[in-house]
Amino acid sequence: MNSILYILVLSMSTPLLIFNDKGIYCTAANVYIDAWKPVDNVIITHGHADHSRWGHQRYITHHHNIPIIKHRLGDIEVVGVDYGETFSVNNVKFSLHPAGHIIGSSQVRVEHKGEVWVFTGDYKLDDDGVAKPYESVSCHTFISECTFGLPAFNWRPQKEVFEEINQWWLSNQEEGRTSVLFGYSLGKAQRLLKHLNPDIGKIYTHGAIENMTDVCRQLVEFPATELITRDTTKKDLHGHMVLAPPSAHGSTWIRKMTPYVTGSASGWMTFRGARRRRAIDQGFVLSDHCDWNQLLEAVKNTGCEKVICTHGYTDIFAKYLRTLGYDARTEKTQYEEQED
Amino acid sequence: MKAFAQLIKTIDSTNKTNKKVDALADYFSTAPNNDKVWTIAILSHRRPPRPVNTTLLREFASALADIPLWLFEESYHIVGDLAETIALVLPNVESSTDKSLSSFCEDLLALKAESEATKKAYLTEHWTQMDYYERFVFNKLITGGFRIGLSQKLMTRALAKATELDEDILAYKLMGNWNPAKITFQELILEENKADYLSKPYPFYLAYALEENISDLGNPADWSAEHKWDGIRSQVIIRDGELFVWSRGEELVTDKYPEFEEFVEHMPDGIVLDGEILAYPNNEIGSFKDLQTRIGRKNVSKKLLEKTPVILKVYDLLELKGEDIREKPLAWRRQELEKLYKKFQNKISVFHLSEEIKFNEWEELIAEREHAREIKSEGLMLKKKNAHYGVGRKKGDWWKWKSDPFSIDGVLTYAMRGHGRRSNLFTDYTFGLWDDEKKELVTFAKAYSGLTDKEFKELDAWIKKNTLDRFGPVRSVTPHHVFEVAFEGIAKSKRHKSGVATRFPRILRWRKDKKLEEANTLSDLKALIPK
């Protein structure tokens, strides 16, 4: 089967996008997307470190992603575009479309000689109230991440999850404990912040989250936060909420919150083992990626014939898509599998 | 069932032992009595016998989830727990059920004998009436193995809290053979009933490994030392003219060791001995491997009895003349045991005494431990002379001081995803040693423990990037990393490709300083086999 595919691919002209040792590459335009090694021209889907790396010559990304990657990468040469705005390089038409993953995240649409490819970057179909919601883009070939491409992953509506999180905060407060909630400093932290109920108490932040949130405040409105500094006392924090990056778990920094209860918001919290391994008290299943059914729905909505599965449970998802009649295969990338 | 599922959810959502115990104590204070009995049974590994085999469970679940079986299997490899996988892949539903835990358990007892079609209909009906946690708990009742970070000891503590009964007395009541389908909470926990106690063993007292310096234990004169025998920890009970042999796993194994009938033929009633069952071929202590031919066989053939007889190496006396003497100091119990031994050693050939090692200085013990292996001992045991016989594992009075393990440098060749808290992480490893030409790596051991969580994470990421091939859940990886693998015992084996079987292999350390070529050879390993 694979060898037949291979011959078929060889017999056609060079594919519009190829996967080489530097990233996803459009030969016709000499442009990379989310390259993992330094290149001249790169389109960046979103601000997470594995997709927007340091060292490229010229960056192209959505307007809203510019302050984010500048915050992370410093003074880079970057051009901003709007969603749906088409720009051409060597007769190849590119445009960015909302991916719903985090603020400023995009899918990349590539069109050449009537053929359309879409690379999703990271994405989810649910409207999280922070990122511009995902929009389906019709294409012939759909390059999809599948971080959670397994039928074991079924997200509940975020309204239910946030009711649970706010309830958790409230009951910790009643027991006289501080709530420490872990989430990545870009994306998850802002999504949590947006939906925490500020009537329950104050929302304190770790420095990494405070800084990134400051950047995001230019683009979206969020409840007030207070940075934890050396002058913050245990008493100040008592019963309130602390947003911290996962790396803060088990650090000396966290001792200041005592007595505290830990929670983590991630798609990986689906697994009991994952929560126990991280020694987290309470896991909340909340992801910025598609779950199993969302992935299937996304593929279907594009009307594509070919699917290329990148990072995640690629083999399994591609195999299942083939049983549904898609021409599906996998490609290796250097995007993190475990990040959420 | 709802209340029980809620309990498991509460226990699951805290990492703090006290909170878990409190939640369970609350449950014991409010649940109906027959649900309490089943809860105790489930948390002490007495669930109903598996009514549906796992092959059928997988089929039924993937049919209901409307996914192909292979996709279910792949999900299972990643989730790492069957009950959890089923609970996750099934569609969420609106309806619910108020059926109690005990009536579900009774259903499951009856379901075992039913036809496949009835089983499928039963499971499908109830799966579609449960939320995620109820489904998970229900599946666990079927598949067994409730690992929720709550040991039997903690369960007993919660029960003590709820009933205001003494924890040690409860531990004693919960031991032995009782059937949750037949016993009431009144009978099991609240009533005093002498006849029930006939077969009951005492909770085993367990030792911690000695990690500090031996001289930190203080005055050598306060301590008794003996060899640590590598067999099956057991209690032999003689009461009312009957013999009961219990293994540490709380399993009644009397039938497996018919030679122990000698005890009841000669000894008076009201005696409980604590010791180690050891293989004794050719009138000398055998290896654990010899003993394995006896474990797990209910009907022992005459031939096997002759080839691999067993003895009981006794080191403690817990009951004498029908009286519980665990509160007496060790020195006193030891004296009584030696008296018994003197009296019966010639009549009861399977009765062996674990001799005390005479010593005045710690240095003498250090020397004794050096040659423990030569006499088929695993190391030494140190017991405080004035200590009573405790319940469970308590620090301070009993220490095990094992001989340093064997160790060898092997190469990581295969990896598999772990289970439980290591689900979705590659943490189960296979190691190889070089053949004599250093051309090929021959598998010699599998190990699952010994790395820190941080190292597991690092190695997991490396494995995902350096996979050569996949065989279902197993991945072969580029030979690169060298690990020092430790193990307790080593013997020749025809069943292993390497020709060698190691006992309790585990990772001692990640030898990042060693190159692939510097790993040991199979000949190096074989040289460790005792002559």
Structural element, H or E, at residue B319? strand B310-320
Nearest to B354 by CA among B377, B327, B384: B377
Residue B395 and residue B430 share a domain? no
Amino acid B298: pLDDT: 64
For chain A, the average pLDDT equals 93
For chain B, the average pLDDT equals 90
Structural element, H or E, at residue B479? none
Residue B291 φ then ψ, to 5°: -65, -30
pLDDT reading at B169 higher than 70: yes
Amino acid A2: pLDDT: 54
- Residue whose pair of structure tokens reads 């910025």 in the numeric block: A288
Give the best-scoring range by mean pLDDT among A163-172, B240-249, B494-503.
A163-172
Residue among B72, B75, B85, B466 with most chain A CBs within 10 A, to mutate: B75
Looking at residue A207, the DSSP 8-state letter turns out to be H
CA quadruple B7, A249, A51, A315: dihedral sign: negative
Amino acid B530: pLDDT: 76
Beta bridge partners of A329: A308
Q: Strand pairing of B441-447 and B467-471?
A: unpaired
Residue B463 and residue B324 share a domain? no
Residue A249 and residue A302 share a domain? no
Q: What angle do CA A241, A245, A251 make, to 5 degrees?
A: 90
Domain interval for residue B20: 2-143
Residue A294 and residue A260 share a domain? no
* Domain assignment present for B240: yes
Distance in angstroms (rounded) separating the CA atoms of residues B486 and B500: 14
pLDDT higher at B499 or A306: A306
Residue B398 and residue B441 share a domain? no
Mean pLDDT of A211-233: 95
Q: Specify the number of domains making up chain A.
A: 2
Amino acid A11: pLDDT: 44
Cα end-to-end span (Å), chain A:
33
* Domain assignment present for B189: no
Query: For A136-145, B94-103, B114-123, which range has the lowest pLDDT when averaged over its residues?
Result: B94-103
ipTM of the complex: 0.90
Which chain A residues are closer than 8 Å to B74 by Cβ?
A: 150, 313, 316
* Domain assignment present for A340: no
B79 touches chain A (CB under 8 A): yes
Contacts of B427 (CB under 8 A, 6+ apart): B415, B417, B418, B448, B451, B456, B460
Say if residues B519 and B410 touch (Cβ distance below 8 Å): yes
Q: Strand pairing of A306-312 and A141-146?
A: parallel
pLDDT reading at A313 higher than 60: yes
Q: Do A152 and B79 touch (CB under 8 A)?
A: yes
Neighbours of B287 (CB within 10 A): 18
Beta bridge partners of B235: B246, B274
Residue B87 and residue B226 share a domain? no
* Domain assignment present for B270: yes
Min distance B10 CA to chain A CA atoms (Å) = 9
Residue B469 φ then ψ, to 5°: -155, 155
Contacts of B70 (CB under 8 A, 6+ apart): A319
- Residue whose pair of structure tokens reads 């190391």 in the numeric block: B379
Q: What is the CATH number of the domain that holds B341?
A: 3.30.470.30
Mean pLDDT of A226-253: 92
Residue A132 and residue A18 share a domain? yes
B71 touches chain A (CB under 8 A): yes
Domain interval for residue A253: 158-284
Supply B102's token pair. Answer: 């005990």
Min distance B72 CA to chain A CA atoms (Å) = 8
Residue B358 and residue B313 share a domain? yes
Looking at residue B203, the DSSP 8-state letter turns out to be P
Confidence of residue A12 (pLDDT cuts 50, 70, 90): low
Which chain A residues are closer than 8 Å to B453 by Cβ?
A: 277
Which amino acid makes up residue B19? K
Nearest-by-Cβ selection for B74 from A273, A281, A316: A316
pLDDT reading at B148 higher than 80: no
Mean pLDDT of B402-423: 87
CA–chain centroid gap for A3, Å, is 34
Q: What is the pLDDT of residues A26-67, one digit of tens each?
A: 999 999 999 999 999 999 999 999 999 999 999 999 999 999
* Domain assignment present for B157: no
Amino acid B193: pLDDT: 64
Distance in angstroms (rounded) separating the CA atoms of residues A114 and B226: 84
Q: Do B89 and A323 touch (CB under 8 A)?
A: no
Query: For A111-125, A186-200, A244-258, B122-136, which range has the lowest pLDDT when averaged over its residues?
Result: A244-258
Confidence of residue B142 (pLDDT cuts 50, 70, 90): very high
Q: Do B421 and A277 touch (CB under 8 A)?
A: yes
Q: What is the CATH number of the domain that holds A116?
A: 3.60.15.10
B82 touches chain A (CB under 8 A): no
Q: What is the pLDDT of residues A123-169, one digit of tens each?
A: 999 999 999 999 999 999 999 999 999 999 999 999 999 999 999 99
* Domain assignment present for A338: no
Amino acid A1: pLDDT: 47
Mean pLDDT of B89-109: 91
Q: What is the pLDDT of residues B436-450, one digit of tens each?
A: 888 899 999 999 888
